[in-house]
Amino acid sequence: PGERLVPSQEATSSAMTRNPSVRKLVAALLAGAIRMSHRRGAFVSAVTHELRTPLTTFRLYADMLAEGMVTDEDKRADYLSRLRDEADRLSHLVENVLAYARLSRAQSAGRREDLTLGDLIGRVRGRLAARAARDGMHAVFEPPDDGADAAVRVQVSVIEQILLNLVDNACKYAADGRDKTIAITTGVDDGLGLIRVRDHGPGIPAHRARRLFRAFTKSATEAANSAPGIGLGLALSRRLARDMGGDLRLDESISDGACFVLSAPMASGQEA
């Protein structure tokens, strides 16, 4: 800091700033940095809003229970159930934020293992079914197609987190629908193992689909006036999938509800 450029450096710097391509590149980089800064600020506000709701519930219900204000056993059971739900919601939020932070630092946690799609679903179906049931939804694990016994190479904990995000999303947006099933199916296509998660809610409009997988796009205002969440789950899920060599996309051919397709690499020797 404070060092003066020598004449040759000044000449080079002056020539660069006069170059239209360089000026355009610098302007684009600055604009991108400003947009990212605004997104991160909105993200922090949304996280703060989402944390405040469960913490307020914890404080209120815990105080009432601790002070003996709830004597009816049914009410006590209901309050304890709500506290458990808020704890699950808070845990899910923290898991997503921490996982995104790890990816941002290029850290990959956990080992990968080879197992069939059927075995993979068997390992995670309990948590998925429980998450759906919490909001009155029903996770249906449909019979696999002919290729679903092929093995994939994945981190089971990562697959579980992605699928939990997708089921959580379906619960938020499809809970008011007439059909409360969340269909989870498996298959193989183009040398990849596939897991589809489909709900029967209102679907996703085209203008939202364009920014569906972008992080830091939900402000505190949007968080307060939309379904619970901070707008990170889908962005995180796609990055987790790609970090494993797979992907996550929206099946835009589905008009009755929303359908997300998670792909995973096949185990060694099974690439077809």
Instruction: Give the H or E element holding residue 117.
Output: helix 117-134
The 10s digit of each residue's pLDDT in 44-58 is: 666 666 677 677 777
- Between CA 239 and CA 219 the distance in angstroms is 21
Domain count across the chain = 1
Quote the pLDDT of residue 54. 73
- More confident call, 13 vs 143: 143
Q: How far apart are CA 24 and CA 134, in angstroms?
A: 52
Q: Where are the alpha helices (DSSP H) in 135-232?
A: 156-174, 206-209, 220-224
Kindly report, residue by residue over 118-139, the tens digit of the pLDDT.
Answer: 999 999 999 999 999 988 999 9
Cβ neighbours, 10 Å, residue 261? 21
Long-range contacts of 84-93 (CB under 8 A, 24+ apart): 85/134, 86/53, 86/54, 86/57, 86/58, 87/54, 87/58, 88/131, 88/134, 89/54, 89/228, 90/51, 90/54, 90/55, 92/164, 92/168, 93/47, 93/50, 93/51, 93/230
237 vs 40, higher pLDDT: 237
Which residues constitute the domain of residue 76?
Answer: 1-272
CATH assignment of the domain containing 138: 3.30.565.10
Cβ neighbours of residue 46 under 8 Å, at least 6 residues apart?
A: 218, 219, 220, 222, 223, 230, 231
Tell me how crowded residue 80 is: count the other CB atoms within 10 A of its CB. 13
Residue 193 β-bridge partners: 188, 264
pLDDT digits 0-9 by tens, 227-260:
555 567 888 899 899 989 999 999 999 888 999 9
* pTM, 2 dp: 0.67
Most confident of 84-88, 195-199, 203-207: 195-199
| Residue 271 pLDDT level (bands cut at 50, 70, 90) | low
Backbone torsions φ then ψ of 56, nearest 5 degrees = -65, -45
Q: What per-residue confidence (pLDDT) applies to 23?
A: 63
